[in-house]
Structure 1
Amino acid sequence: LKSVYRATKLCDGSRHENSGEHSWHIALYAMTLASHAIKPVNIGRVIRMLLIHDLVEIDAGDTPIHGDFDPAEQEQIERLAADRLFGLLPPAQGARLRALWEEFEAAESDDAIFAKSIDRVQPLASNLENGGGSWPDYNVSYAQLVGRVGDKIAKGAPAVWAEVDTRIRAHPWFAKEFQK
């Protein structure tokens, strides 16, 4: 995962982060922000989900959330990657980790909903710190950000979204949308 680079840059803007760094950071975010989950969560399960959720990127690469891609095609590519990667493990272990990955992807359990929200908030925090990061690169609008990211964060951690949303609205990249 350390060789898979993402669209998001580090907080200092010096380079793009890799997926290994992303997974580590969101595990720390989850530990720190668990009290803000909309429902009680098993933080150990959440952290396990966050540490494995991007393993498929070893084969599939990272797909920027604001990039131009076919979601159904990407989902198929990631499922094939999951088949191969989880298939490398002893069967019982592979099945347990695959089930955890599937749970994260479905985002239906309380643990997975919170995990998905944390996965989405970390790139926002980085972009807020580094001058907008990937937002100008993908010409991201506020409505696009809310639809693709904000709604998922709010579903699992509404107080976190409220705080981040306030900061996003004040950010120079989006402020122009609110001055009209």
Structure 2
Amino acid sequence: MASADRILGTLEFLREAEKLKCTLRSGFTSDGRPESTAEHTWRLCLMALVFADEFEGIDLLHLIKLCIVHDLGEALSGDIPAIMQTEGSSKSAQERADLELLTKSLHAEKCVEILALWEEYEAAQTPEAVLAKGLDKLETILQHVQGKNPADFDYAFNLGYGQKQTSAHPLLTQIRAILDEETRARLDEETRARAEQKRL
């Protein structure tokens, strides 16, 4: 049976992690509301689950764990959209420091496990981490294509976004081709709408 201290520490961690529900991303939901990092993480995990049969030899539980923790540090300092990140930015270092702070109330073994999962995701050296990185990019693009975005949303950025990560597995490449086609269609639609607005 778990000790009272372990339960209390875990509940404290979960209270802090709840902030991920309030951490907004650059994407918008299909009804036009800003998307939270927690929502992105949920659908990333769902993508891993529903495509799992296509990933031969992959440990699904491990893949899902990587997906769950990949943006966990953003609960404290927020998300920096890819379009605003610069070469040599300290986003990764900040997320690592925030994750250490976030997990400090957990018992030592769980804290070490979560930090190790995050580091594995960042390094993208294992098959599961490579897939988690690729699916992360694809989920973001899927949301951008599906979302009810503001008029100045930059769809063109997505056409170059995450190319390396989404070409790491044949299925990721297939999904990417479909989403790129949808992105181009959305870009054309928005370009026509802006041109029409100028004429009025």
Tell me which interval the TM-score lies in, with the shorter structure as reference length.
0.7 to 0.9
Structure 1 residue 6 corresponds to structure 2 residue 19: no
**For the structure 1 residues 159 and 140, does the alpha-carbon distance in structure 2 shift closer, same or farther, using more than 3 Å as the test?**
closer
Tell me how far apart the structure 2 counterparts of residues 126 and 17 of structure 1 sit (CA, whole Å).
Answer: 9
**Which one is further off, 155-164 or 44-53?**
155-164
Distance apart, 1:100 and its partner CA: 0.6
Offset at residue 62 of structure 1 (A): 0.7
Gaps of 5+ in 2: 1-19, 192-200
- 1:164 aligned to 152, 162, 179, which one? 179
What residue in structure 2 maps to residue 103 of structure 1?
120
- Cα shift at 1:122: 1.3
1:34–1:165 Cα change, 3 Å: farther
- Kindly provide the amino acid, as one letter, of the partner of residue 135 in structure 2: I
Matches of 1:135 and 1:99, distance apart in 2? 40
| Aligned residues of 2:73 and 2:102 also touching (Cα < 8 A) | yes
Normalized against structure 1, the TM-score is what? 0.82
| Contact kept? 2:145, 2:186, Cα under 8 Å | yes
TM-score, scaled to structure 2: 0.74
Provide the rounded CA distance (Å) in 1 between the counterparts of 2:118 and 2:82. Answer: 18
**In structure 2, C-alpha distance between the alignment counterparts of 1:16 and 1:44, rounded to whole Å:** 29
Higher CA-based Rg: 2
Asked whether 1:44 is paired with 2:61, we answer: yes
Name the Cα RMSD after superposition. Answer: 2.4
1:155 aligns with 2:165: no
1:23 matched to 2:23: no
1:58-112 C-alpha deviation (Å, 9 max, x unpaired): 1121111112446532222112112212332111111011101111111111100
Deviation at 1:15, TM superposition (A): 0.5
Q: Is the 8 A contact 2:133 2:165 kept in 1?
A: yes
Q: Is the 8 A contact 2:155 2:183 kept in 1?
A: no
Match of 1:84 in 2: 101
* Structure 1 position 162, deviation (Å): 2.2
- Higher mean displacement: 3-12 or 79-88: 79-88
On the 8 A contact 1:127/1:135 being kept in 2, the answer is: no
> Deviation of residue 47 (structure 1)?
0.8
Relative contact order (alpha carbons < 8 A, sep ≥ 6): 1 or 2 greater? 1
CA contact (8 A) 1:118 1:153 kept: yes
Runs of 4+ in 1 over 4 A off after TM superposition: 68-71, 173-176
Kindly indicate whether the alpha-carbon contact (under 8 Å) linking 1:169 and 1:175 is maintained by their aligned counterparts in 2. Answer: no
**Which AA in structure 2 matches 1:126?**
Q
